[in-house]
Amino acid sequence: MKSGTELIAEERQEQIEKHGRTIVSDKAQNSSYQLSIAASKMLAYPAEAHNVEVPPNGWDVDLYKKMREKPYKERLIIAGALIAAEIDRLQAES
């Protein structure tokens, strides 16, 4: 069984390789803290919690909805990867 950190690292790699979500693209498209906002919304449980259905500014509504419909454990993994992406973005801006 994989650890939480392994699952988060795999998800982050998928964000980069499959979805093209690089540090450069995050700097350009998520400079208003959208990654951390999305991570916090992924943590909301149950999925019907207040205001989680509204995607972060500039995000694709359908893609965001697909992420929010995943089971809670998968949303936790996505949230961890989004936090890692936000840290990468902040470090790149320093």
Give the mean pLDDT of the chain: 91
Number of domains observed in the structure of the chain? 1
Mean pLDDT of 77-94: 95
pLDDT in tens, 34-63: 999 999 999 887 655 556 778 999 999 999
Instruction: Write out the two tokens for 50.
Output: 């207040």
**What pLDDT does 44 receive?**
81
CA dist., res. 79 & res. 1, Å (int): 20
Residue 48: give the domain boundaries.
4-93
- Report CA-CA distances (Å) from 68 to 6, 18, 24, 61: 21, 18, 25, 10
pLDDT at residue 74, rounded to an integer: 96
